Structure 1
């Protein structure tokens, strides 16, 4: 992504362990509306360069329709609290999301309300969490195996110390449009990358039709299109890909009647033990889908 300006700008990508974004954009002091087509907005939306001296805060964000979670989601959300006892934990509900957009990003509210499905609004909201507050976002079907502020290797930096905005590839096919899930993200507050994601959502919405999928409108495909450069990949966040999980899909997918989280983690070497690579594992419940075949699994 190249930005034209009289001032120099740098977009440095550094992928260590997980695919991360360490972007240092030196942008003119102008509103995002003037930069990328938004309506003029308050100073809250000035793009800044947080790559220097701004760290990822110790906040866990998750979201659901209401505060009443399916039993499995309670179990997996508890894993984030257990590994981060001193961190701030926020469970965002649909009502909270709309109020958040209305009060902090009113220029996006019309688009937010016009998005056709609730999952589109939930997807969009999480990018705004990252921009406004920073911290770590994790889907509710993702189990935490290690603390995000634990070192990747003994004596090394913590995962969240490896950049000011972090995302992770899933699987080895980096040309797959769904290979950058928005199920896990981490960021310093104010990082400009998330506003470019939001801008891409607005573009996708304008060109959308009845055949546009949730992933294409505000989900992983939008994230993939925004972040098109990549280098190396590691399995710190997504130990397996739902798109290529023929052998372990039955025990690792929350959609499967044979789902067995313990057996899945054992098979993947993802039990949170010293020397094991993964920090998290996600069970890909796809709870936003119209089919509710997995509801019993989630409530067991």
Structure 2
């Protein structure tokens, strides 16, 4: 699908094989992506917040630190229960185990998520009990990254290639930006949004406790108004990242934000009508560039750097939209690799094997 504005532009380009406006529009969107990430990287004139990770920097990091992977090779995924997972998630979830046969795959449930706060983070327990299940799932991913570390990824993510090269870099936290077309056309911002659907970390990084502190402070001040994105989701991560009172490491490799091509090559297709409406209404350069990008890459922009793609199921806002469910045993049956479930106690988190052969 493409927006009407882009369709009209394509008709005129048929008379001009160079299609220069389209190419310039895509170049402009690429420039906006770089500038918005640089805005994240440079805060208050001080370049100590983040490294915008490019392929060449990843290879540099590999050559320097190939024997010292700081982020554990653990994949965390979560769903309400292991007994009723939407069947369409099955190939996506299996892709993580298939691409990482030597990693440990851990599956968390809503009960496991709450137990994290009951046993290990009681200072946030009142909030965890009061908010909805999607906000609890948000809070739990920050807590488990702080306690255990590893790679957290939503169940509607599909792995395209192994993450070993990314985990062997010098960075201690990996964050990522979602498509700039989302922020330009849906949120009216030219600044890249940090998304919390895929994140990786060393254990014990103080950033995650600050995120949880900010959630608690926001909840205590405002309560839960049903906006999970603002209270516990991507916006609280971004607000914490930009917080002037949090001291990040002076090492520029401490936190890395990867461009959208790595993890978010596709937009939320169910939201295309809203983006198309904005293409009709707006003619400013960022919107023009975003609409050109949507027109040129209607099925996403996949590159050699693409390690995963988000299918944007938004089950918390759209519902499961499924009459066909499978169990975790169905999802992972016959998979090689280490599959585990968490055992959360007051002394920590242990994993026990869950064999699905």
Q: Which of the five TM-score ranges fits, normalised by the shorter chain? A: 0.5 to 0.7
Check conservation: 2:175, 2:198, Cα contact below 8 A: yes
The answer for unaligned runs of 5 or more in structure 2 is 1-39, 41-46, 56-67, 244-255, 276-296, 327-357
Matches within 5 A, 1:45-60: 55-60=70-75
Seen in structure 2, the aligned counterparts of structure 1 residues 162 and 267 have a Cα distance that, compared at 3 Å, is farther
Instruction: Report the Cα offset of residue 295 of structure 1.
Output: 2.3
Check conservation: 1:196, 1:226, Cα contact below 8 A: yes
Of the three residues 154, 164, 171, the one matched with 2:172 is 164
Check conservation: 1:137, 1:184, Cα contact below 8 A: yes
User: Match of 1:236?
Assistant: 262
Instruction: Report the Cα offset of residue 298 of structure 1.
Output: 7.7
Matches within 5 A, 1:205-284: 205-209=219-223, 211-228=225-242, 233-242=259-268, 246=272, 267-270=299-302, 276-284=304-312
Seen in structure 2, the aligned counterparts of structure 1 residues 298 and 16 have a Cα distance that, compared at 3 Å, is farther
* TM-score (norm. length: structure 1): 0.67
Seen in structure 2, the aligned counterparts of structure 1 residues 124 and 182 have a Cα distance that, compared at 3 Å, is same
Seen in structure 2, the aligned counterparts of structure 1 residues 242 and 85 have a Cα distance that, compared at 3 Å, is same
1:68-89 Cα shifts (integer Å, max 9, x gaps): 2211222211000000111111
Check conservation: 1:160, 1:186, Cα contact below 8 A: no
Secondary structure of residue in 2 paired with 1:207: helix
Q: Higher helix share goes to which structure?
A: 2
Q: Higher strand share goes to which structure?
A: 2
Check conservation: 1:177, 1:220, Cα contact below 8 A: no
* TM-score (norm. length: structure 2): 0.57
Of the three residues 109, 134, 137, the one matched with 1:119 is 134
User: Match of 2:34?
Assistant: none
Instruction: Report the Cα offset of residue 95 of structure 1.
Output: 1.0
Secondary structure of residue in 2 paired with 1:278: coil
Seen in structure 2, the aligned counterparts of structure 1 residues 80 and 149 have a Cα distance that, compared at 3 Å, is same
User: Match of 1:196?
Assistant: 210
1:180-232 Cα shifts (integer Å, max 9, x gaps): 11100000000111111111111221233564401111011111211239988
User: Match of 2:322?
Assistant: 295
Of the three residues 76, 81, 97, the one matched with 1:81 is 97
Secondary structure of residue in 1 paired with 2:262: coil
Check conservation: 1:177, 1:224, Cα contact below 8 A: no
Check conservation: 2:141, 2:152, Cα contact below 8 A: yes
Question: How far apart, in 1, do the equivalents of 2:54 and 2:129 lie?
Answer: 37
Seen in structure 2, the aligned counterparts of structure 1 residues 269 and 239 have a Cα distance that, compared at 3 Å, is closer
Aligned residues: 230
Seen in structure 2, the aligned counterparts of structure 1 residues 276 and 297 have a Cα distance that, compared at 3 Å, is farther
Seen in structure 2, the aligned counterparts of structure 1 residues 104 and 209 have a Cα distance that, compared at 3 Å, is closer
User: Match of 2:116?
Assistant: 100
- Structure number with higher relative contact order (C-alpha < 8 Å, ≥ 6 residues apart): 2
Instruction: Report the Cα offset of residue 107 of structure 1.
Output: 1.9
